Amino acid sequence: MPSYTLRVAARFEAAHHLTSYKGRVEPVHGHSWRVEAVLQASALDGEGMAFDFVEVQGALRRLAARFDHQDLNTVPPFDQLSPTTERLAAWFFAELLGALPEAPWAEVTVWEGPDCSATYSP
């Protein structure tokens, strides 16, 4: 059976600090964040697409813009939750699912720099 994997990414700049890192509050620091949404489909539509990149990219960019040049610790829900990369990945997945429920979402990966990332998949 054929399978198509689509990847769409967005970037944002933001600061954060973990509220309990090894029992202490971590110092505020910034990252160049990258979010990658992955979709998987087994068939193409009448246009020959698994899903429309434009729709996915628009939704992902709108979500990333919420955090751009912000302190994540001041943006809900991370004003109440320690903004770990893992929690950000789960948040992006849930928000994308809500924005485009018909999209065949597979996973979301959030990079907090070029070498460290967390992936959430349901």
pLDDT in tens, 72-82: 999 999 999 99
87: left (phi over 0), alpha (psi -120 to 50) or beta: alpha
pTM: 0.95
Q: What is the tally of structural domains in the chain?
A: 1
Kindly report the CATH number assigned to the domain that includes residue 17.
3.30.479.10
Q: 69 is in which domain, residue-wise? A: 4-120
CA nearest neighbour of 63 among 52, 51, 53, 75: 75
pLDDT band at 25 (very low <50, low <70, confident <90, very high): confident
Q: Is 101 helix (H, G, I), strand (E, B) or coil?
A: coil
Give residue for tokens 């020959």: 48
User: For residues 93 and 109, what is the distance between their CA atoms, to the nearest angstrom?
Assistant: 9
Residue 64, pLDDT > 90, answer yes
